[in-house]
């Protein structure tokens, strides 16, 4: 049983900042990859950023230089620091994690329920 819990979403003005956090809990042996995705109305879900257990990161071109993903392996958490927010960043943001519950198991994808980020004046 694995659960992802998100926090930090809300309403912010253009140019402002938000910090999203996601904590994974339950039966976890190893988290191979954590990341953030988002989906705006009328659009496909898109990758925002991912981070591996060795801290290698990947950020979407649309957020490079503005968003930074980080993780704490000991606490099984991943954060997304969002700066210089734009109205087009408005979306539901989902936490994702690729997790092995046991060393001999193939990993599975887990998702948080999503948190709304609204950038508006």
Give the pLDDT confidence of 20-64 residue by residue, as tens digits.
999 999 999 999 999 999 999 999 999 999 999 899 999 999 999
Is residue 81 over pLDDT 90? yes
Torsion of CA 71, 10, 3, 53, to 10 degrees: -10
Query: CB–CB of 111/5 below 8 Å?
Result: no
Average pLDDT over residues 98-113: 94
Q: What is the pLDDT of residue 100?
A: 96
Q: How many CB atoms lie within 10 A of CB 37?
A: 20
Cα 22 to Cα 110: distance, rounded to the nearest angstrom: 12
Confidence band for 73, pLDDT divided at 50, 70 and 90: confident
Listed residue (48, 34, 22) closest to 97, CA to CA: 34
Confidence band for 1, pLDDT divided at 50, 70 and 90: confident
Q: What's CA 108's distance to the chain center, in Å?
A: 16
């Amino acid at each position: 049983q694995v659960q992802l819990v998100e926090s930090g979403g809300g309403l912010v003005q253009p140019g402002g900042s938000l910090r999203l956090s996601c904590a994974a809990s339950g039966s976890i042996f190893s988290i191979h990859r954590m990341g953030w995705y988002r989906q705006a109305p009328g659009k496909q879900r898109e990758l925002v950023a991912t981070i591996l257990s060795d801290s290698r990161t990947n950020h979407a071109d649309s957020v490079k230089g503005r968003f930074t993903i980080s993780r704490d392996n000991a606490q099984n958490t991943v954060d997304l620091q969002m700066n210089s927010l734009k109205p087009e960043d408005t979306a539901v943001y989902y936490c994702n994690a690729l997790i092995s519950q046991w060393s001999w198991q193939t990993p599975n994808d887990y998702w948080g329920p999503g948190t709304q980020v609204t950038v508006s004046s």
